[in-house]
Amino acid sequence: MVDEAGVVVIGSGAFGASTAYHLTALGQEGVVVVDAHEIASQTSPRAAGLTKQVRPDPDVSHMAILSVQKILRFTEETGQPLTFVQPGSVNIARGEKDEAVIRAEIAAGQALGLETSELSFDEMSLLAPLIRPRDIRLIAYTPTDLYLEEPGQLPLGYARAAEEQGAVLLPHTRVTGIGIEDGHVVNVTTSQGEIRTAIVVDAAGAWARLVAEQAGIPVPIVPVRHQFFITQRIPGVDATHAICRIYDACVYMRPHQGGLLMGGYERDPQFYDMSTASPDFQIGDLPLDMSVLERLAQSVRDQVLVDKSVGVREHRGGLPTMTADGRPIVGPVPGIEGFFVACGCCVGGLSISPAVGATLAELILTGQPSLPLDAYAMTRFGAAVESEDALRAACAQQYTDWYARVPTA
Ligand SMILES: Cc1cc2nc3c(=O)[nH]c(=O)nc-3n(C[C@H](O)[C@H](O)[C@H](O)COP(=O)(O)OP(=O)(O)OC[C@H]3O[C@@H](n4cnc5c(N)ncnc54)[C@H](O)[C@@H]3O)c2cc1C
């Protein structure tokens, strides 16, 4: 067990592992990654692995674009394996409202330098042969969007690369307290003992709020259940087929090992209060609900050509966290020197984690991140969220409107 650290990173998922790697890459000594469970084993490996570079918010788009660039040279940079396919993404509007969103997405993508363009039905049938052009009004194509075959490789790779650069990984070690004296972080208490440190990063995913509460810090995030299924092999499905999203249905798809991975955002999201979960709870224990996905699949049956007899091979789900404005929370905790957070992933955290970790590490070590983090500051919420009910209502709105928000660049 370690008793002193330069930085303690709590959580080895996408946000924590990337932050730890980039801290060590910048020369920080004594980085310790503490995880209550196995390294990179909770929500991150259960993600669909999609990137989406044109986000409603330009600050998040910039993080997503930098992250794709970092994914492309991940193995070169870290020496760790990462399997991805870069077929681009095809985003579809069926209704008038979404047509306006897609039009704005094309303009925003171009302004961001992404070569996003309108796609014809003929072009779509080549890129995404499982989609039938029925009742479709407009299609946007972003050619550099990619997907990770097995998303867990990303945090695992960052964690292993951090370890090679001197970080200490402590799996199965739970943080139970964070000591603050005179407004400064002084230590972290874990199930294996105390670690003296002046800097802590709370990247505990669904538990990030609970961890911060140990130091009396209220982080306004709410864990939400999110799920997808993967079908058995479907003749004609190829790994190089594009990622597809049907906006009004809030449904996304991509190829996976000869089958189709399909997930989406339901209208009445299930939120979780981690303070009521058993201390032994792991994301693998989360009860999933196939009926939610069946309804989502039904809502796109006119567009997605899949024979009803195709069976489901796998059903995955996890607990990403929502914020009231749909942007993550990344940066310092106001009023406490040395306390940083990286949480509130808003179901898109894996694909921005390379840039989030790099930027947060720069902020911690130099005070000058290469991408501005103001839009992610915890202070932006101020006193706006007055109650748990108000927070949940705002988070539900963000979740259900996930593809309805109009992008700007
Ligand atoms: C079904 C599904 C599909 C998704 N699809 C995508 C997608 O296509 N693209 C995308 O970008 N994102 C996607 N996401 C979201 C993505 O998975 C999350 O944004 C990301 O995994 C969040 O990473 P994290 O590091 O915050 O959390 P986690 O991976 O959960 O890591 C948090 C870690 O903190 C540890 N921890 C918790 N409490 C403590 C404690 N007290 N002490 C020590 N350690 C602790 C946990 O054990 C855990 O390992 C999807 C999510 C789901 C569930």
> What is residue 241's predicted lDDT score, i.e. its pLDDT?
98
Answer whether 229 contacts ligand 1 (Cβ < 6 A).
Answer: no
Answer whether 407 contacts ligand 1 (Cβ < 6 A).
Answer: no
> What is residue 10's predicted lDDT score, i.e. its pLDDT?
98
What are the extents of the domains in the chain?
A: 7-49+152-221+324-400, 84-147+223-318
| b/e per residue 296-335 (b: at least 16 CB within 10 A) | bbebbeebbebeeeeeebeebbbbbbbbbbbbbbbbbbee
> What is residue 265's predicted lDDT score, i.e. its pLDDT?
97
Which of 173, 175, 207 most suits a substitution to test ligand 1, by most atoms within 8 Å of the C-beta? 207
What gap in Å lies between CA 282 and CA 324, rounded to an integer?
Answer: 25
Q: Cα(42) to centroid of ligand 1, in Å?
A: 6
Which tokens sit at 339? 């306390």
What gap in Å lies between CA 306 and CA 297, rounded to an integer?
Answer: 10
Nearest of 316, 387, 312 to residue 350 by alpha carbon: 316
Answer whether 22 contacts ligand 1 (Cβ < 6 A).
Answer: no
> What is residue 102's predicted lDDT score, i.e. its pLDDT?
98
Atom of ligand 1 nearest to the CA of 206: 30
| Residues 244 and 128: beta-carbon distance below 8 Å | yes
Q: Cα(206) to centroid of ligand 1, in Å?
A: 7
Please state the φ and ψ torsions of residue 281, each to the nearest 5 degrees: -60, 135
Q: Cα(133) to centroid of ligand 1, in Å?
A: 35
> What is residue 307's predicted lDDT score, i.e. its pLDDT?
85
Q: How far is CA 31 from CA 61, 97, 98, 171, in A?
A: 29, 48, 45, 14
> What is residue 243's predicted lDDT score, i.e. its pLDDT?
98
> What is residue 303's predicted lDDT score, i.e. its pLDDT?
95
> Which class is 7-49+152-221+324-400 in CATH?
alpha beta
| Residue bearing the CA closest to ligand 1, atom 18 | 349
pLDDT in single tens digits along all 409 residues of the chain:
899 999 999 999 999 999 999 999 999 999 999 999 999 999 999 999 999 999 999 999 999 999 999 999 999 999 999 999 999 999 999 999 999 999 999 999 999 999 999 999 999 999 999 999 999 999 999 999 999 999 999 999 999 999 999 999 999 999 999 999 999 999 999 999 999 999 999 999 999 999 999 999 999 999 999 999 999 999 999 999 999 999 999 999 999 999 999 999 999 999 999 999 999 999 999 999 999 999 999 999 999 988 888 999 999 999 999 999 999 999 999 999 999 999 999 999 999 999 999 999 999 999 999 999 999 999 999 755 679 999 999 999 999 999 999 998 8
Answer whether 84 contacts ligand 1 (Cβ < 6 A).
Answer: no
Atom of ligand 1 nearest to the CA of 190: 42
> What is residue 1's predicted lDDT score, i.e. its pLDDT?
80
Domain 84-147+223-318: what homologous superfamily? D-Amino Acid Oxidase, subunit A, domain 2 (3.30.9.10)
Q: Cα(33) to centroid of ligand 1, in Å?
A: 15
Q: What does the radius of gyration of the chain's CA atoms come to, in whole angstroms?
A: 21
286 residue type, one letter: L
Q: Cα(288) to centroid of ligand 1, in Å?
A: 16
Answer whether 347 contacts ligand 1 (Cβ < 6 A).
Answer: yes
Place of tokens 């009396």: 216
Q: Cα(9) to centroid of ligand 1, in Å?
A: 14
Q: Cα(282) to centroid of ligand 1, in Å?
A: 11
> What is residue 384's predicted lDDT score, i.e. its pLDDT?
53
Q: Cα(40) to centroid of ligand 1, in Å?
A: 8
| Residue bearing the CA closest to ligand 1, atom 35 | 11
